[in-house]
């Protein structure tokens, strides 16, 4: 995990929840942590990390992850045993 991934991890766990985080940065963090990516139909993707699973739709047409997606990412990471 590089410094950009650490910064993204800190942003995900910051309060209040940041709604301006690009989704691609969250995906890059998941992959750097060793998560498996499964492309599904349309914009749906699935991540698996340490036995935890997260199913989401990639944001479109914008690129920012809305607050509820950032919260989902936080819960996914917490359940997978990842904290800043």
Per residue in 2-52, pLDDT (tens digit) is 999 999 999 999 999 988 899 999 999 999 999 999 998 888 999 999 999
3 exposed, middle or buried (CB, 10 Å; 0-12, 13-18, 19+)?
A: exposed
Per residue in 39-50, pLDDT (tens digit) is 988 889 999 999
**Is this prediction's pTM over 0.85?**
yes
Q: What is the mean pLDDT of the chain?
A: 92
Name the DSSP class of 15. S
């Amino acid at each position: 995990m590089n410094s950009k991934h650490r910064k993204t991890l800190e942003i995900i766990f910051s309060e209040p929840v940041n709604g301006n985080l690009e989704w691609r940065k969250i995906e890059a963090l998941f992959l750097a942590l060793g998560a498996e990516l499964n492309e599904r139909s349309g914009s749906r993707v699935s991540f698996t990390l340490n036995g935890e699973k997260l199913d989401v739709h990639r944001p479109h047409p914008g690129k920012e992850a809305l607050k509820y997606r950032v919260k989902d990412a936080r819960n996914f990471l917490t359940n997978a045993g990842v904290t800043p």
